[in-house]
Structure 1
Amino acid sequence: MNAYNEALEYLYGRLPMFTRVGASAYKTDLHNTIALLDQLNNPQHTFKTIHVAGTNGKGSTSHMLAAILQQAGYKTGLYTSPHLLDFRERIRINGQVAPEDFVVDFTNKMRPYIESISPSFFELTVAMAFNYFSQEQVDIAIVEVGLGGRLDSTNVITPELSLITNISFDHKHILGDTLPLIASEKAGIIKAGVPVVISETQPEIAYVFRDKAAEMGAPLHFADQEWMVDGSAIVSNHLELTLLDTRQGKMYDVRLDLSGQYQEKNVMGVLSAVKLLQQQGWHITWEHISAALSHVRKLTGLRGRWEVVNEHPLTVMDVGHNEAGIREVVQQLEHVNYQRLHIVTGFVKDKEVESVLPLFPDTATYYFCRAQIPRAMDEVELAQLAMAKGLQGRAYESVQAALQAARQHAKPEDMILVCGSFFIVAEAM
C-alpha cells in the first residue's frame, strides 16, 4: 500500500465521516475547525473566496463559477463535497486535483492535532483545502458548504460574495423540519456588508433572506428577478438558453455543457454573482462567461449532473438524492425519447424516502440496490417500500449487480437512469 492510500485509510478510519455514518459525525459548533485553522496560522484569511450554500444546485453552481474565473485568467481554488471517485476531487485548483503528496504531508503534519482535537472528517478536509489554497496562492476560491450553513465548517470565511441556490427538504433531523427553519440555517452564511445572491425566489421563505440580509447590512439580489429565461432547448447534450437581463433589457445566448433543464436556475444565480464580481473590479468579459459555461466539465472536472455515459441504451447518471433533486430529475425525463425506462436507485437511511418514492414514474422497471457504506438503506427494505408505492422491480446486493441487470434487460432504444445518492452514482461509475 502506498503512502497516499495509508493516509486515506487513517483519515477514514480515525475520523467520523458524515457521508458514511450520518448525523453522529455532524458537529454543532465551529470549535474544532477554528482550532485546526489556528494551528495552520489561519490560511483562510490569505485568499479571496465565494461562499455557496443551498439544498440542491450548489455543486453545479460552484463549478460554473470556478470555470468562469479560471477562464478569465484567475488562479481558482474549488472546494466541494462529497467526492465521487477520488478524495482529491474535493480540493482543486484550475480543475486539477490536489497532489497525493500534499494529502500525505498534511495528514502526517496534523496527526498530533487530529489525535488531540478529534475533528470530523469534514472539519479536517476544510482545513486541508484552505491550507492548500493558501500555500498555492490562489487568487480566489469557490467554497461549497457541506451541510446547512450557519454551523458548517466552511463558515469561517468572509467572502467577496455569498450565494444560496435553493431551499428544500433535506437533513430535516439536523437542519429543521420546515422550509423557513432550513432557510435560516443556510442564511447563516450571510456576512456583514457582503453581497448575497439568492438563485431562486421562493415566496414562502424569501422573508428569511430579506430579514437576515437587512440585519447584516448585506446587499441582497434575487437572481430570477434580474434574469429571465426567454428560450430553452437541449441540443446534443448541451442546454441552450436565451436569457434576458431584465435590468438592462439585453438578451444573451448561453450554451451550457450540463444538459439538465434544472440548471436554468443555477445559471441565473451564477450570472448575478458574476455581475457583482465585475462591479467589484474582477475582469470578467462575456467571452469568458460564454466560453467557460460551454466547457464546465472540462475546466473543472464536474461529473454526475445528468451525465450521459452511453448512447444505446441511453445511460444517464445524476446525483439527485432528495425530494427536490429527484423531482428535477424526473421532470428532465419528459424531455427524453426512449422506449422503456430502467432506473437503478438506492438511498441512505436518513433520507425522506417515503416522500421521494411517489415522485418516481410507475411505468419504469426498478433495480433497487445499496452502496457499500454503513449509512446505506437496505435494498430489500427499499424495494418493499417502493412496491407499496406502486413501483415494480427487484433488489440487488450491490450497485454493480443492479447496473449489470439493467444493462442485460435494456434494449438499445431504452434508457437507464442511475440516481438516488452520490454513493450509488460513484459505485456505478
Structure 2
Amino acid sequence: MEPLKDYDALQGYMDRLGLFHMDLGLGRMEAFWAARGMPGIPVVHVVGTNGKGSTSTFLCSIARTHGTKAGLFTSPHFVSPRERVQVNRALLGRDEWVALANEVLTTPGGEALTYFEFQTCLAMLAFEKRNVDMAVMEAGLGGRFDATTVFSPRLTLFTPIDMDHEKILGPTLVDIARDKAGAIHPGSVAVTGPQRAEAMIELANRAEAVGARLIPASDVADPVDGLRLGLSGPHQRDNARLALAGWRVFAAMADIRSEADAEGFGLESAFVPGRLQRVSLGGRTVILDGAHNSHALAALGEALKADGIRPASVIFACLADKDVSAMLPLVRALTDGPVLVPGMDNERAGDAARIASEMGGAARPAATLADALSEAFAARSEAQGPVLICGSLYLLGEFYRMHPEFLTK
C-alpha cells in the first residue's frame, strides 16, 4: 500500500481495520516480529480483569520517580488512539505516529495485523526508538493469545481476575483465569494481587507447569494504607500495592535501588482519567468511573460508601456483550434517584431502552449522553449529591469528547 501521508490518513486506516475486530492468536504477531527482530526492551506485562490501567499507571509513575524511562501501552482510549502510547506520561506527536505506522506497514506481515495488533507493534517500535528502560504493556483481552503476550516479558503482574468477556474467554471463572494465566512465560516471574481461590489455583498451576515463579504482592510490599495515592478508592490500594511490588521485583532484576520516598511520590503523583474522577461541570459535581462489569461496580459502590458519597442520579450504559443481569442490581444500589440510560455512538452498545426496562424502578432511557446530563442536572440540587457516570469506558469516552479538558489532571 502507499505510505500514509498524515495522521488523518492513519486514522482512516485504523478505522478501516475496525476497533472491535478481533482474531485471537499470536501467529500474525510472531510473524511480524520474526521479520522485524524483537526489541531487547525489558517488558512488564499487566494482565487481569479489573485494575490493569491503574496498576500500569502506578508502576510507570514509580519508575519515573526513580529516573527510569518508562513506556506505557494501555487500552482502550477515550478520545484519540494516541492516548494508548506514552513515554514518561507524554503522548507521542501525530507525525511520530505516522512515521511509526509506516514502519509497521512496510515490515513483512504489517498489513495483516488487526487494529489492536497494529497499535501494539507501533507502541513497541516507539519504545525501542525512544530507548525506554521499561515497557509496561497492558493486555487487551485475556492473556494466552493477547497480542501483548508475544514479547515474552520477564515480569507479569496479575490484577484481580473476575467474570468478563465470557463469550470469548469462557463461561466460568476457571476458564477465564486459565486463559489469563497463559500469559506466564517459562522461567519468568509473576506477581499477583489478591485473587479468588479458583483464579489463584490456575495461576499456580501455570507457573508450576512452565517453571515460573509466582509471588503474592503481599510478600514483597506492605499495605500502602499510610501513603497518599493519586487515584481514589479503597480498591486502588490493592492496585498500588501490586504496582509497588512489581516495581521492587523489576528494580531487583535491573539492579536499581528502590527508595521509599521515590516510591511514595510515584504513587501520589499517578493519574489516569475515569477512575473515581471528580470534575465540576457548570458548578455541578460529576463523578466519572469506568466500572464496566459486576466486580468493578461492586468496588465502585464500596468506594463511594467509604467516602460518604450518595449520587443523586446515575448515568449508566454498557456494551451488549456484558452480563447485564449481574450488573443492574449493583447499579440500582448506587443511588436513590433516577438511573438514566443513554444511547451510545458505538456499534457494540447495549440497547438503552431494554436496559432501562430490565432495571425497572426509576430507570429510563435517554437519547444521548448530553440529554442524560441535562435531565440529571435539571432533577437535582448539589445538596442531593453528585451525578455519577459509569458502566462503560466508551460512555466516558463520549463525555471526554464533549469535555476534553478533564482528560488531564
**Fold shared by both chains (TM-score > 0.5):** yes
Q: Does 1:255 align with 2:228?
A: yes
Specify the alignment match of 1:64 in structure 2.
Answer: 58
CA positional deviation for 1:405 = 1.9
Which residue of the partner structure matches residue 375 of structure 1? 348
Could you give the per-residue CA deviations for residues 115-143 of structure 1, whole angstroms, max 9, x where no partner exists? Answer: 98432100100010011111111111111
**1:128 partner SS:** helix
Deviation at 1:110, TM superposition (A): 4.1
The 1-side partners of 2:287 and 2:215 are apart by 34
Question: Which SS does the other structure have where 2:348 is aligned?
Answer: coil
Q: How far has the Cα of 1:321 moved from its partner?
A: 0.1
Runs of 5+ unmatched residues, structure 1: 19-24, 230-240, 243-252
1:270 and 2:243 correspond: yes
Q: Distance in 2 between matches of 1:61 and 1:196?
A: 14
- CA deviation vs aligned residue, 1:312-340 (integer Å, no higher than 9, x gap): 54311011101101111122221244565
Amino acid at match of 1:133: F
Q: CA separation in 1, counterparts of 2:260 and 2:123?
A: 30
CA distance in 2, matches of 1:222, 1:179: 19
Query: C-alpha distance in 2, partners of 1:100/1:402?
Result: 33
Residue of structure 2 equivalent to 1:395: 365
| Alignment: residue pair count | 391
* Distance of aligned partners of 1:114 and 1:6 in 2 relative to their CA distance in 1, 3 Å threshold: farther
Equivalent residue runs for 1:356-371 within 5 Å: 356-362=327-333, 363-371=336-344
Amino acid at match of 2:210: M
Q: Name the counterpart of 1:247.
A: none
Specify which of 322, 328, 344 is matched with residue 315 of structure 2: 344
Residues in 2 aligned to 1:270 and 1:356: alpha-carbon distance in whole angstroms: 28
- Report the equivalent of 1:187: 181
Q: Structure 2 CA distance, aligned partners of 1:256 and 1:113?
A: 42
What is the distance in 1 between the residues matched to 2:310 and 2:70? Answer: 43
TM-score after normalising by structure 2 = 0.90
1:33 aligned counterpart, secondary structure: helix
Q: Is the 8 A contact 1:88 1:97 kept in 2?
A: yes
- Contact 1:348/1:376 (CA < 8 Å) preserved in 2? yes
- Asked if residue 17 in structure 1 is aligned to residue 19 in structure 2, the reply is yes
What amino acid does structure 1 have at the position aligned with 2:99?
Answer: D
Query: How has the CA–CA distance of structure 1 residues 69 and 405 changed in structure 2, closer, same or farther, with 3 Å as cutoff?
Result: same
Deviations 1:325-382 (Å, cap 9, x if unpaired)? Answer: 1111122221244565210110111011111101123523111012211111121111
1:310 CA displacement: 2.1
Matched, 1:334 2:336: no
State the partner residue of 1:4: 7
Distance 1:107 1:278, change over 3 A: closer
Unaligned runs of 5+ in 2: 401-409
Residue 226 of structure 1: how far off its partner (Å): 5.3
* Equivalent-residue separation in structure 2 for 1:91 and 1:9 (angstroms): 18
Q: What amino acid maps onto 1:158 in structure 2?
A: S
| Structure 1 residue matching 2:149: 3-state secondary structure | coil
User: What per-residue deviation string (whole Å, max 9, x for no partner) do you get for residues 80-118 of structure 1?
Assistant: 000112211100000011110122223344446699843
Report % sequence identity: 28
Pairwise CA RMSD of aligned residues?
2.0
CA offsets, 1:273-313, max 9 Å, x none? 1231232212321111101111101xxxx211111112854
Q: Bigger CA drift: 282-291 or 181-190?
A: 282-291
SS in 1 for 2:258: coil
Do 2:71 and 2:88's aligned partners in 1 also have CA atoms closer than 8 Å? yes
CA contact (8 A) 2:32 2:110 kept: no
Which residue, 190, 197, 214 being the options, matches 1:196? 190
Match of 2:88 among 86, 94, 98: 94
Give the Å deviation of 1:7.
Answer: 1.3
- Select the residue among 391, 395, 403 that pairs with 1:420: 391
Aligned mates of 1:10, 1:219 — CA distance in 2: 41
Structure 1 residue 191, shift from structure 2 partner: 1.2
SS at match of 2:387: strand
1: CA distance, partners of 2:182 / 2:171? 17
1:208 shift after superposition: 1.1
Decide which structure has greater strand share. 1
1:135 corresponds in structure 2 to 129
Alignment deviations for residues 124-177 of structure 1 (CA, whole Å, 9 cap, x no partner): 000100111111111111110000000000011122311110111100011111
- Amino acid of the residue matched to residue 214 of structure 1? E
Q: Distance in 1 between matches of 2:118 and 2:277?
A: 30
Q: Distance in 2 between matches of 1:17 and 1:88?
A: 14
Question: What is the distance in 2 between the residues matched to 1:116 and 1:37?
Answer: 9
Q: Secondary structure at the match of 1:85?
A: coil
